[in-house]
């Protein structure tokens, strides 16, 4: 028997139930009204008078009820009356009726009909209203889905109206309609190479079947936000020209138990009908979190995960169904989900390197009108650690700035300013520093720049500004690496800590005072020193021992110590010593270059923003106070 027949039977049963409830309520009401309309109420004295005149032929009473119903006449002339006994007249009334030969009928009150009516009103009416609302919602949902047939869905682990709640609601896109191919993705060459084999299988499954190879059932894309995981999934569908089903992991988690599992079944059913195809589950950690026995576990989510595991085991991947999923929290996923046979490949989608950033900028720059001679390499070098989304935003901010200044094309200045906007925010025109605060900020930023210039192998200073930004920064010093570095030595890490301490050191040296302007510098210096001790094995006291591990690596979740409380206290002391060493290095460097510190700070205070070339010209100018520059590292 098909599902439509079952739906029709359930609907018919529901309508019969509604009709019975309505009939009983109406019958009870009509019966009471008809009886009341034939009975004539009279006073007790008139009743006694009619009995004494032998007009009463029969009297009825109900035990416990003071009312008496009596009849006069016979046949067509018969009439029905009712009266109420006075208190204490029950025995005398009974004797009066007996003396005049009136037939008396007495019975115990039957409250069953009243009970049924009470039950109907108390329970039947609310149920009737609830079912009526459900039927109306069901009709509305059916019409929205293009189906007017009535249905009421009972079961599936919960009560719900309409068949739409079990639908996956995945966005279905034809491969060519994604508008994305691998040429639209830059900076992720390794990821594209790993996914190219999936594209090849979807295009030509025969050559893989011939040798006995099977297509990977799934591939998990992991990486920080904004690196292009969704873009890569769409590019696979665009390259292969197959149907693309896109759904978020949170869309599976429902309030009603069993609905998430129903959505998973429906999604794979659709995929099986449209094979070959790609199923893309974004943010799969919403439904694929590790199962445990804690009180915070979610039964609905675990049932949905179990159904997902079952479906990924059960589908025939010879048809060409590939499941792609993306997450930036892979450490929270259930191990059963990650094993081969479900997600056979784990593809890192990391932040792009220097060449990757420049390639991404070129792709987004093609959509924007730019002046000739634009150097995107400068922007790429100025944005270490930027994701693809950040770089796209930089190009867009540059275009918006060009329009704001009435230009038809983007200039190099627009691009460099957009880098500052994305990193530190817009210029905050409403913030006006007092002359003393402006002087303090000038010395603070100059202190960073001089300490950075004095370190061997440090990234050269490219810009110094004391213009307040919307991020809360009152100024910043930008350093730009000439080349990409993938390793950091212990000495380089110490030098970075010294540069971060340069601002506070300048304040102490010149003003003999401390301000809150160094809070972000202190935070970064402490984080770097703690990582040297707990992760990088760069501690003299602890050596090559890992004392902490990163939490939420791709979301910047910091570190979690994996050591005893006593060791944690020793770690704090070691971190404090490393930061203090950098602080003393910064103080010593600025004392040795005190006159250059004054000169550059005063120049910065007047101009507010200076370039790296201006800074280096003043620093290296031989005016009797030129510093001894460090020799390049070999």
Give catalytic residue positions: 445
* DSSP per-residue codes, 316-382: -GGG-EEEEEEES-GGGB-HHHHSTTTS-EEEE-PPP-HHHHHHHHHHHHTTS-B-TT--HHHHHHT
Cβ proximity of 263 and 166 under 8 Å:
yes
β pairing state of 243-248 and 277-282: parallel
Give the Cα separation of 320 and 216 in Å (integer).
10
CA distances from 555 to 31, 522, 547 (A): 73, 21, 20
Peptide bond into 276 cis (omega under 30): yes
Half-sphere exposure in the Cβ direction for 571 (13 Å, CA): 25
Residue 292: phi and psi, rounded to 5, are: -150, 180
Residue 517 CA to residue 504 CA, distance in Å, equals 8
Q: What is the distance between the alpha carbons of residues 115 and 113, in angstroms, rounded to a whole number?
A: 5
Cα distance between residue 535 and residue 32, in whole Å: 87
> Would you say 461 and 616 are in contact if contact means Cβ atoms under 8 Å apart?
yes
Q: Residue 350 class from Cβ within 10 Å (0-12 exposed, 13-18 middle, 19+ buried)?
A: middle
Instruction: Give, for 601, the enclosing helix (H) or strand (E).
Output: helix 594-607
For residues 24 and 63, is the Cβ–Cβ distance under 8 A?
A: no
DSSP states along 400-460? HHHHHTT-SSB-HHHHHHHHHHHHH-SB-TT----HHHHHHHHHHHHHHHHHHHHSTTPPP
Contact 524, 385 (CB under 8 A): no
Upper half-sphere CA count for residue 308 (Cβ side, 13 Å): 32
Q: Could you list the beta-strand ranges (E) of 193-339.
A: 218-222, 243-248, 277-282, 321-327
- The Cα-based distances of 496 to 487, 490, 541, 581 in angstroms read 14, 10, 21, 12
CA angle 234, 223, 575 (to 5 degrees): 165
Strands 218-222 and 345-348: parallel
Cα separation, 498 vs 483, whole angstroms = 21
The full DSSP string for 108-162 is E---HHHHHHHHIIIIIHHHHHHHHHHHHHHHHHHHHTT------EEETTEEESS
Cα Rg, the chain, nearest whole Å: 42
Through-space distance between the first and last CA atoms of the chain, rounded to whole angstroms? 82
Give the max Cα distance, the chain: 145
């Amino acid at each position: 028997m098909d599902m439509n027949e079952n739906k029709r039977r359930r609907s018919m049963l529901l309508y019969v139930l509604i009709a019975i409830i309505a009939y009983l309520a109406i019958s009870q009401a009509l019966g009471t009204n008809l009886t009341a309309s034939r009975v004539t109420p009279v006073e007790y004295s008139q009743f006694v008078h009619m009995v004494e005149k032998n007009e009463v032929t029969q009297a009825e009473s109900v035990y416990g009820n003071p009312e008496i119903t009596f009849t006069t006449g016979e046949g067509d002339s018969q009439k029905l009356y009712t009266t109420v006994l006075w208190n204490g007249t029950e025995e005398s009334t009974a004797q009066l009726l007996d003396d005049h030969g009136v037939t008396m009928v007495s019975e115990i009150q039957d409250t069953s009909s009243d009970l049924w009516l009470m039950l109907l009103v108390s329970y039947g009416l609310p149920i009737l209203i609830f079912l009526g609302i459900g039927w109306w919602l069901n009709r509305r949902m059916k019409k929205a889905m293009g189906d007017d047939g009535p249905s009421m869905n009972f079961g599936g682990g919960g009560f719900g109206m309409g068949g739409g709640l079990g639908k996956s609601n995945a966005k279905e896109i034809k491969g060519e309609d994604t508008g994305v191919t691998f040429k639209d993705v830059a900076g992720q060459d390794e990821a594209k190479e790993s996914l190219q084999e999936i594209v090849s299988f979807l295009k030509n499954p025969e050559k893989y079947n011939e040798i006995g190879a099977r297509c990977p059932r799934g591939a998990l894309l992991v990486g920080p936000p904004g690196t292009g995981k969704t873009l890569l999934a769409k590019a696979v569908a665009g390259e292969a020209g197959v149907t693309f089903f896109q759904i978020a992991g949170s869309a599976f988690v429902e309030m009603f138990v069993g609905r998430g599992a129903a959505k998973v079944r429906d999604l794979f059913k659709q995929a099986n009908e449209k094979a070959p195809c790609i199923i893309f589950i974004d943010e799969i950690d919403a439904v694929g979190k590790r199962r445990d026995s804690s009180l915070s576990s979610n039964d609905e989510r675990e049932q949905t995960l179990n159904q997902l595991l079952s479906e990924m085991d059960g589908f025939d991947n010879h048809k060409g169904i590939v499941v792609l999923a993306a997450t930036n929290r892979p450490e929270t996923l259930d191990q059963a989900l990650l094993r081969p046979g479900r997600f056979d490949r784990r593809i890192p989608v990391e932040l792009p390197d220097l060449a990757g950033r420049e390639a991404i900028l070129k792709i987004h720059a093609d959509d924007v009108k730019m002046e000739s001679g634009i150097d995107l390499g400068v922007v790429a070098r100025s944005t270490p650690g930027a994701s693809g989304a950040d770089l796209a935003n930089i190009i867009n901010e540059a275009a918006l700035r060009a329009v704001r200044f009435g230009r038809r094309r983007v200039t190099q200045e627009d691009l460099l300013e957009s880098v500052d906007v994305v990193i530190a925010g817009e210029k905050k025109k409403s913030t006006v520093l007092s002359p003393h605060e402006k002087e303090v900020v000038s010395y603070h930023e100059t202190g960073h720049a001089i300490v950075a210039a004095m370190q061997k192998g440090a990234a050269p200073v490219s810009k110094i500004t004391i213009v307040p930004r919307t991020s809360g920064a009152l100024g910043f010093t930008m350093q730009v690496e000439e080349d990409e570095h993938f390793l950091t030595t212990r000495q380089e890490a110490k030098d970075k800590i010294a540069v971060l301490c340069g601002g506070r050191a300048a304040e102490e040296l010149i003003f003999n005072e401390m301000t809150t302007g160094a809070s972000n510098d202190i935070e970064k210096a402490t984080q770097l020193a703690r990582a040297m001790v707990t992760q990088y094995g760069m501690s003299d006291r602890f050596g090559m021992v890992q004392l902490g591990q990163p939490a939420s690596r791709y979301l910047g979740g910091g570190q979690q110590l994996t050591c005893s409380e006593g060791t944690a206290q020793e770690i704090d002391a070691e971190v404090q010593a490393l930061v203090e060493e950098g602080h003393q290095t910064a103080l010593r460097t600025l004392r040795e270059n005190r006159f250059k510190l004054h000169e550059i700070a005063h120049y910065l205070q007047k101009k507010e923003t200076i370039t790296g070339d201006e800074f280096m010209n003043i620093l290296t100018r031989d005016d009797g106070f030129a510093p001894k520059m460090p020799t390049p590292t070999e």
